């Protein structure tokens, strides 16, 4: 229950004023409670988008868009081609992370892993946090590949654990290098998001490797759960199946995470997607517009640190907040405000919003409700 004050409707057999209330059948929420949750959900969604728009205003407030359009139009064709090439390589690097993990267990084509990645990317931008896309990843994997459910859960979990760990460690390195030059407010936010990444990565890896222990604990509750009214038999069936599922899933997780080639190739793909190619794109654009960043070799670390706020469920997919954070970081590190905003917006458009939009194409061919209702 959510703590609402709505009363549960009484059945026709209970006259009003009898003093007895009939609980909602089957554990379903009362209509008033469901309506209240729906209103709160809509209000939260509106608030998140208001925050996103406010963050975009923060980014754009110092930009002379007429002059900026002229500057962007004057960028040499060679730079435009180079940025397009870097972005294309970034897409290949992005798809390779899923490719490496999936092919550790199931023969999967790069085209299939591309669809998996794009669908997850799309979901990340229609639901408040990155965690949302990662949470439905096993369903997406199961739909597109021949992976068993235990394999899909383990592969998706390993992806989440490695991604979060690499992100947290890299962002922490950025904080260590640049903390003294960041404003206190943004430093606190970045430290918080970095801590979330590190904690999530550690917990997912630990849980994935020792999932079998948790499964055995749940399995021991089978008899007790069978005594629960109405749903006891169903709960007991689920509890009885958990140990077998978790044993298999933990075995897959441990086997994949113990293979240096799989983990190493994943880390290379992650670095290309989040550091190398975005860093090259930002450097090319910043230089073409007459700006600079010193030392340029640390641009990849700065970008990971600056964009780390996307893990916080402030806006869908970190929209707006990531741009505000990265702009503030670049300005703190000596980049002109108008240049920082433009570079960040272009980088986010090509590196984040473009794959999310492309993800709508395979996503439109899926029945999300059917996907979520899949009998695993």
Q: Which of 177, 112, 62, 125 is nearest to 351 (CA)?
A: 125
Q: How far apart are CA 233 and CA 347, in angstroms?
A: 53
Q: Residue 260: its pLDDT value, please?
A: 94
Q: Residue 14: its pLDDT value, please?
A: 43
| Contact between residue 157 and residue 134 where contact means Cβ atoms under 8 Å apart | no
| Contact between residue 113 and residue 98 where contact means Cβ atoms under 8 Å apart | yes
Does position 226 have pLDDT exceeding 80, yes or no? no
From the number of C-beta atoms within 10 Å of its C-beta (0-12, 13-18, 19+), residue 295 rates as: exposed
Structure confidence by residue, pLDDT tens digits, 327-347: 999 999 999 988 999 999 999
| Contact between residue 63 and residue 116 where contact means Cβ atoms under 8 Å apart | no
Q: Which of 106-110, 203-207, 245-249, 318-322 has the highest mean pLDDT?
A: 106-110
Does position 18 have pLDDT exceeding 70, yes or no? no
Instruction: Choose the weakest-confidence range: 80-89, 103-112, 198-207.
Output: 198-207
Q: Residue 376: its pLDDT value, please?
A: 46
Q: Residue 206: its pLDDT value, please?
A: 77
Helix, strand, coil: what percent of the chain each, to 5? 75, 0, 25
Q: How far apart are CA 364 and CA 362, in angstroms?
A: 5
Q: Residue 11: its pLDDT value, please?
A: 39
Domain-wise residue ranges, the chain:
66-368
The pTM assigned to this predicted structure is 0.76
Percentage of the chain modeled with pLDDT above 70 = 72
């Amino acid at each position: 229950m959510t703590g609402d004050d709505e009363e549960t409707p009484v059945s026709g057999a209970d006259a009003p004023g009898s003093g007895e209330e009939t609980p909602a059948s089957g554990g379903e929420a009362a209509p008033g409670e469901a309506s209240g949750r729906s209103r709160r959900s809509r209000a939260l969604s509106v608030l998140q988008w208001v925050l996103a728009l406010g963050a975009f205003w923060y980014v754009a407030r110092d930009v002379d868009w007429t002059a900026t359009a002229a500057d962007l139009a004057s960028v040499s064709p060679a730079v435009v081609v180079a940025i397009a090439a870097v972005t294309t390589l970034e897409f290949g690097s992005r798809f390779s992370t899923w490719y490496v993990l999936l092919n550790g267990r199931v023969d999967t084509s790069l085209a299939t892993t591309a669809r998996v990645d794009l669908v997850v990317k799309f979901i990340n931008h229609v639901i408040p946090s990155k965690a949302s896309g990662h949470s439905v990843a096993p369903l997406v994997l199961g739909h597109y590949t021949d992976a068993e459910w235990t394999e899909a859960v383990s592969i998706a979990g390993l992806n989440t654990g490695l991604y979060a760990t690499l992100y947290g460690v890299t962002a922490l390195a950025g904080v260590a290098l640049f903390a003294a030059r960041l404003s206190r407010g943004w430093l606190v936010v970045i430290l918080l998001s970095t801590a979330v990444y590190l904690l999530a990565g550690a917990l997912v890896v630990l849980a994935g490797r020792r999932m079998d222990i948790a499964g055995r604990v749940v399995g021991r509750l089978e008899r007790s759960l069978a005594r629960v009214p109405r749903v006891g038999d169903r709960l007991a069936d689920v509890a009885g199946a958990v140990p077998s599922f978790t044993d298999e899933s933990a075995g897959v997780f441990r086997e994949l995470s113990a293979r240096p080639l799989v983990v190493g190739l994943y880390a290379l793909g992650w670095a290309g997607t989040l550091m190398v190619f975005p860093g090259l794109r930002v450097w090319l654009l910043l230089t073409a517009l007459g700006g600079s960043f010193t030392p340029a070799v640390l641009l990849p670390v700065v970008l990971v640190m600056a964009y780390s706020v996307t893990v916080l469920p402030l806006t869908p997919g970190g929209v707006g907040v990531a741009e505000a954070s990265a702009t503030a970081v670049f300005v703190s590190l000596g980049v002109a405000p108008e240049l920082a905003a433009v570079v960040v917006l272009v980088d986010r458009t090509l590196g984040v919003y473009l794959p999310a939009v492309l993800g709508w194409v395979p996503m439109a061919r899926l029945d999300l409700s059917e996907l979520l209702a899949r009998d695993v």
